[in-house]
Amino acid sequence: MDKQPSSRSCFVCGRQNDFSLKMNWYNDHEAQQIKGEVVVPDQYNGYPGFVHGGIVATILDETSGRAVMLDGDINSLFVTTHLEVKYRRPTPTGQPLTAVGWVLRQDKNRARVAGEIRLADGTVTASCKAIVMRAPQKYLEAWNWQDEAPFWKVYED
């Protein structure tokens, strides 16, 4: 499986963000999914021992949205326009979790994607469906993407 790029400042993958979950994702071409591993520290709990629902949604948002890069186009920068999360059971902190994302359908500028968070035994704690769209050029310019782009790359573990 080939590794997807990360940024330097993102809350979920940012390598230079002290608060980042520092997740990595890998393309599983055979399964047509991306997969990422994470252990969420207790500082991101909602109740002691359980990941805050907003953090669960954040992991699902990032993972499902990254599924559009499964084709290898690492500059396919999409943004979420709709996210629907289903919380199936509490997601524990301090334990290995696997986040899985896949594309349901996609065209040039828009995609319907889905994702899950799974415990080590495969139990799904939360799932999502989302709609993502290609980031308009005016937003890339407003975000100073040209300055950030050199840091959007595959980092060694």
Check: CB of residue 74 under 8 Å from CB of residue 4: yes
H runs (alpha helix) in 7-157: 53-66, 137-142, 145-148
Confidence of residue 113 (pLDDT cuts 50, 70, 90): very high
What tokens were used for 16? 């230079």
Q: Which residue has the tokens 């899985």?
A: 100
CA distance 67 to 64: 5
pLDDT for 98 equals 98
Burial 111-128 (b: 16+ CB within 10 A, else e): bebbbbbbeeeeeebbbb
Which pLDDT value is given to residue 36?
97
Q: Considering the entire predicted model, what is its pTM?
A: 0.94
Looking at every residue in the chain, the average pLDDT score rounds to 94
**Cβ(96)–Cβ(154) under 8 Å?**
no
In this prediction, residue 157 carries a pLDDT of 77
Can you give the pLDDT at residue 51?
98
Write down the domain spans for the chain. 2-140
Residue 140 pLDDT greater than 80, yes or no:
no
pLDDT (mean) for 111-127: 98
Separation of alpha carbons 65 and 33, rounded Å: 11
pLDDT of residue 1: 73
Q: pLDDT digit string (tens) for 20-48?
A: 999 999 999 999 999 999 999 999 999 99
Q: Token pair 């035994």 is at which residue?
A: 121
**Residues 47, 53: Cα–Cα separation, whole Å:** 10
What's residue 73's pLDDT? Answer: 80
Q: Looking at residue 69, what DSSP letter applies?
A: G
Q: Which CATH class is domain 2-140?
A: alpha beta
Note the pLDDT tens digit of each residue in 46-96: 999 999 999 999 999 999 999 999 988 877 789 999 999 999 999 999 999
Token code pair at residue 81: 């326009």
**CA-to-CA distance for 34 and 90, rounded, in angstroms?**
23
Q: Within the chain, how many helices (H) and strands (E) appear?
A: 3, 9
- pLDDT of 143 > 80? The answer is no
